[in-house]
Chains A and B, each alone.
Chain A
């Protein structure tokens, strides 16, 4: 078992991390399109934010720059503020329309 572990490469190419972050972002975009519940659409946005955060951390590791990690810190704080306001808006919408289906919330639709 130990010899098997020693044969494996001990490092992971950073491009794999970037690929993972691109896939996560794309899954978030797909979820944003196909989900029909207001809360789940909002969760897809959080998934996209997380995908982008992963690529920030990866590039911080690549260039040995701590600023990328600080940017992720700021993104996290803004995401927390956004989640609080967004969920309050969802509660207000639910109170006004008594539904969470995005197809029924179409007042501003052409």
Chain B
């Protein structure tokens, strides 16, 4: 069962990621990214991270991707123009990406100590607590300060987004100089 679920949702994941690269319309790319994120939520569930699976659906597939599709529609983004891109990306970039992927893949496949994942023996059952209890205990005792700092970060991000997206006072003069 675990194997079937893994293959189905890993396939969805890869298909969505490749489709993101191949589509020329941004809204299609955004929808395939939603497919990737939702399939990743199922994979998190298979790895015994229930809270993260739910957070992935709500935060990533819900909030962030809604923001993306909203901006795509607000800016009326049409088809992207295909250009050749820079020559450095073609000659150096792609061989480098393939080489890095090959190195990582061989390292992973040769690692001896990696275990297996199955549905019965997850993080939940080992310590006798549910995943959410475990996570909440650590998050609100040991890591309380980073948690609170993150809330300040999000507040600053909200203010920054509002300040950036607001119709600026001097924007028109500055663009005329171009």
B145: interface (CB < 8 Å): no
- Chain B residues within 8 Å of chain A by Cβ, number: 91
B63 / chain A contacts, CB cutoff of 8 Å? 80
Q: Cβ of A20 and Cβ of B13 under 8 Å apart? A: yes
Establish whether residues B48 and A61, one from each chain, have CB atoms under 8 Å apart when the complex forms.
yes
Q: Given the complex of chains A and B, what is the CA–CA distance between A78 and B177 in angstroms?
A: 35
A67 to B143, CA, bound (A): 10
Please report whether the interface of chain B is mostly helix, strand, loop or mixed according to DSSP. helix
**Is the Cβ of B30 less than 8 Å from the Cβ of A43?**
yes
Contact with B along A43-83 (1 / 0, CB 8 A): 11011001001100110111010110110111011111111
Contact B36 A47 (CB under 8 A): yes
- Specify which chain A residues have a CB less than 8 angstroms from the CB of B114 in the assembled complex: 13-15, 18, 62
Within 8 A of A (CB), among B63-101: 63-64, 67-68, 71-72, 74-75, 77, 80-83, 85, 89, 93-94, 97-98, 100-101
> Interface residue count for A (Cβ, 8 Å)?
75
**For residue B44, which residues in chain A have a CB less than 8 angstroms away from its CB?**
54, 57
**CA A33 to CA B93, docked complex, whole Å:** 8
Q: Is the CB of A89 within 8 A of B164?
A: yes
B169 close to chain A: CB less than 8 A: no
Contact A88 B117 (CB under 8 A): no
> B119 — which chain A residues lie within 8 A by C-beta?
10
Q: Which residues of A contact B20 (CB under 8 A)?
A: 27, 31, 40, 43-44, 47
Q: Smallest CB-CB separation from A72: which chain B residue?
A: B52
Known A61-B49, A64-B127; 5 more pairs at CB < 8 Å? A12-B118, A20-B14, A29-B97, A40-B26, A66-B123
30 contacts between A and B (CB under 8 A): A9-B3, A11-B116, A18-B114, A22-B104, A23-B14, A23-B101, A26-B100, A29-B97, A30-B97, A31-B20, A33-B93, A33-B94, A34-B21, A37-B77, A40-B29, A43-B26, A46-B33, A47-B17, A47-B33, A50-B60, A54-B40, A58-B47, A58-B117, A64-B123, A64-B126, A81-B156, A90-B71, A90-B75, A100-B80, A101-B80
